[in-house]
Amino acid sequence: MVSNVAYSHALSSAQFQSFSAEALSTWCETHLQSGIDHIRFEAGYATRVIGVHLRDERAVVLKLRPYTPRLHGTAVVHAHLWNVGFPCPQLLVGPIALESAWISAEALVEGGHVLSNQPNAPDLYAAALADLIAQSPAVDECPNLLPPPAWLHWNHSESGVWPRPDVHNIDLNARASPDWLRDAAQRARTRLRQCGEVPVVGHADWWSENLRWNNQKLHVVFDWDSVTAQPEPILAGAAAYQFAATTFEIEGSAPAADVNQSEQFLDAYTRARGRSWSRDEWQVAWAASAWVASYWVQLSTLEAVTGAFAELVRREMPERLLRAGA
């Protein structure tokens, strides 16, 4: 069974487990005009995701998560893209407050598969992201889309290099970082701060488990809570690292694209958008890939034993920073 959302690199949380099936059924009766007949599946990470079958035969996914101001804007983008025919679940209601959580409901979309490691996978993922960004509303047409998810929050205002993770209240700056990692993150942030591009609306968690395909045609995109506003090369650069990640993890983090795969993704992205990038845009995209990779290494220290994931990133970091002009 396919969940309507997949969350990478998140730690389990019991924050919203207190909501009973009866309480959720009452909520569904109020907002969806039908109570719950039975629960089909449940997953719990940053968000409690519950697939339900309603008494009126509809299959629906309920999502409960902590509040962030970005949720108001993500709902507008999600609804807009469904209305224009982009492949995503229909947002039915919310997000709205329910005690300590914010809850929304969307139609369950089943079917499709995660794209296997095919030679043209970077091209397909890049073209899908380019289509999403092209069809998204303008930033000024949306409510607040900030702050971005932590792994793309390179411009945070906290002290230290690292932003606070979304999933748990841990200061990553209080954890040890190898010199190469802190240096790489600082250099990537410095280069990103020099970006003068205006923000656009895009998806910040463009990894394989959030997309489903049928015969290399995009079937559905999940995780609309991860929509945010960033300059386009930053969104594309982050995706150029993330897209190849799978559920296979090394010490809490999923290995993602290597430099060659990122290059193929970015080449395909510019072709899909129909214009060449400037030298500055290319560098910003590579800086974004370096920042996201660095963030996941620091987060992986919560589970790392041998540093194997960090070593994967470290080997290619000099090339990413070189291409970033950092």
Summarize pLDDT for 260-303 with one digit per residue, the tens: 999 999 999 999 999 999 999 999 999 999 999 999 999 888 87
CATH of the domain at 63: 3.30.200.20
**In terms of domains, do 94 and 191 share one?**
no
Q: Confirm whether 55 is domain-assigned.
A: yes
**In terms of domains, do 196 and 289 share one?**
yes
Give the residue, 181 or 11, on which the prediction is more confident.
Answer: 181
Share the mean pLDDT of the chain: 90
User: Is the pLDDT at 14 greater than 50, yes or no?
Assistant: no
Q: Residue 17 has what pLDDT?
A: 56
User: DSSP string of 18-35?
Assistant: T--HHHHHHHHHHHHSS-
Domain boundaries, position 83: 21-107
Among 107, 134, 150, give the residue marking a domain's end: 107
Q: Residue 305 has what pLDDT?
A: 66
pLDDT band at 18 (very low <50, low <70, confident <90, very high): low
88: Cβ contacts below 8 Å, ≥ 6 apart: 78, 81, 82, 109, 220, 221, 222, 224
Q: What average pLDDT does this structure show over 6-24?
A: 55
Residue with tokens 């045609």: 217
Distance CA 209, CA 100 (A): 28
Q: What average pLDDT does this structure show over 44-50?
A: 80
CATH of the domain at 226: 3.90.1200
For residue 27, give Cα distances in angstroms to 22, 33, 131: 9, 9, 35
246: Cβ contacts below 8 Å, ≥ 6 apart: 114, 208, 209, 254, 255
Distance CA 206, CA 227 (A): 10
**In terms of domains, do 77 and 219 share one?**
no
SS3 134: helix
pLDDT band at 247 (very low <50, low <70, confident <90, very high): confident
- Work out how many domains the chain is built from and give that number: 2
Q: Residue 2 has what pLDDT?
A: 26
Q: Residue 44 has what pLDDT?
A: 63
User: Is the pLDDT at 5 greater than 50, yes or no?
Assistant: no
pLDDT band at 11 (very low <50, low <70, confident <90, very high): very low
User: Is the pLDDT at 246 greater than 90, yes or no?
Assistant: no
| Six token digits for residue 45 | 């990470």
Closest by Cα among 199, 276, 291, 283 to 242:
291
Q: Confirm whether 112 is domain-assigned.
A: no
User: DSSP string of 136-163?
Assistant: SPPGGGSS---SPPGGG-TT--SSSSSP
Give the residue, 18 or 240, on which the prediction is more confident.
Answer: 240
Pairing of strands 211-214, 217-221: antiparallel
pLDDT digits (tens, 9 = 90+) for 50-104: 999 999 999 999 999 988 899 999 999 999 999 999 999 999 998 999 888 899 9
pLDDT digits (tens, 9 = 90+) for 95-145: 999 888 899 999 999 999 998 778 999 999 999 999 999 999 999 999 999
Other beta carbons within 10 Å of 137: 16
Q: Residue 300 has what pLDDT?
A: 87
Among 78, 107, 136, give the residue marking a domain's end: 107
pLDDT band at 30 (very low <50, low <70, confident <90, very high): very high
For residue 138, give Cα distances in angstroms to 198, 199, 237, 275, 278: 11, 9, 20, 19, 22
**In terms of domains, do 201 and 56 share one?**
no
**In terms of domains, do 127 and 177 share one?**
yes
Among 107, 141, 171, give the residue marking a domain's end: 107
CA atoms within 13 A on the CB side of 168: 12
Sign of CA dihedral 305, 311, 312, 317: positive
Q: Confirm whether 70 is domain-assigned.
A: yes
Q: Confirm whether 223 is domain-assigned.
A: yes
Q: Residue 47 has what pLDDT?
A: 83
Q: Residue 253 has what pLDDT?
A: 74
Q: Residue 10 has what pLDDT?
A: 33
**In terms of domains, do 91 and 232 share one?**
no
User: Is the pLDDT at 8 greater than 90, yes or no?
Assistant: no
**In terms of domains, do 219 and 125 share one?**
yes
Of all helices (H) and strands (E), which one includes residue 109?
none
